[in-house]
Amino acid sequence: MNGPTNPDMCEKQCLHQDRVDRVRGDMLADVAAEGLAEIFGLLGDRTRVRILHALSLGELCVCDISAVLGATSSAVSHQLRLLRTAKLVRSRKQGKMVFYTLDDEHVRQLFAQGLEHVLERR
């Protein structure tokens, strides 16, 4: 009905067509943007950050993680499923227990990089 013209998109005067065209051409593919948002989103939660950091220090079972974080094993298990699905952690079953380890070197580097950011901003 309204067609492509959206009054909230200021298509009147301010648009720098050259710049816009150039940037449009270099923009990330949708999959890439989606993928980036997904991985960063996974790292963007306090509980998951702490789980991943704990695992970066060594292998732990669900119970241990719960104890370290002071969270219920249910909450931890829910989060571990997300991390497992995204292949950020790997699980190894041993009897009743399931041990988790980091399964992605990029995560370590992202952590280090992120920490630099956190520490250096002032």
E strands in the chain: 60-61, 89-94, 97-102
Contact footprint for DNA (CB under 7 A): 8, 10, 12-15, 41, 45-48, 61-63, 66, 71-75, 77-82, 91, 95-99
Q: Among positive and negative, which fits the CA dihedral 60, 65, 67, 73?
A: negative
Among a second copy, DNA, none, the one that 103 touches (CB under a kind-dependent 5 to 8 A) is none
- Is residue 48 within a helix (H) or strand (E), and if so which, with residue range? helix 46-56
Among a second copy, DNA, none, the one that 115 touches (CB under a kind-dependent 5 to 8 A) is a second copy
Residue 104 vs residues 56, 107, 111, 116: alpha-carbon distances, Å:
10, 6, 11, 19
Among a second copy, DNA, none, the one that 91 touches (CB under a kind-dependent 5 to 8 A) is DNA
CA–CA dist 50, 54 (Å, integer): 6
Region 12-71 residues binding a second copy, contact defined as CB under 8 A = 14-16, 19-20, 22-24, 26-28, 32-46, 48-50, 53-54, 57-58, 60-64, 66-68, 70-71
Does position 91 interact with a second copy (CB under 8 A)? The reply is no
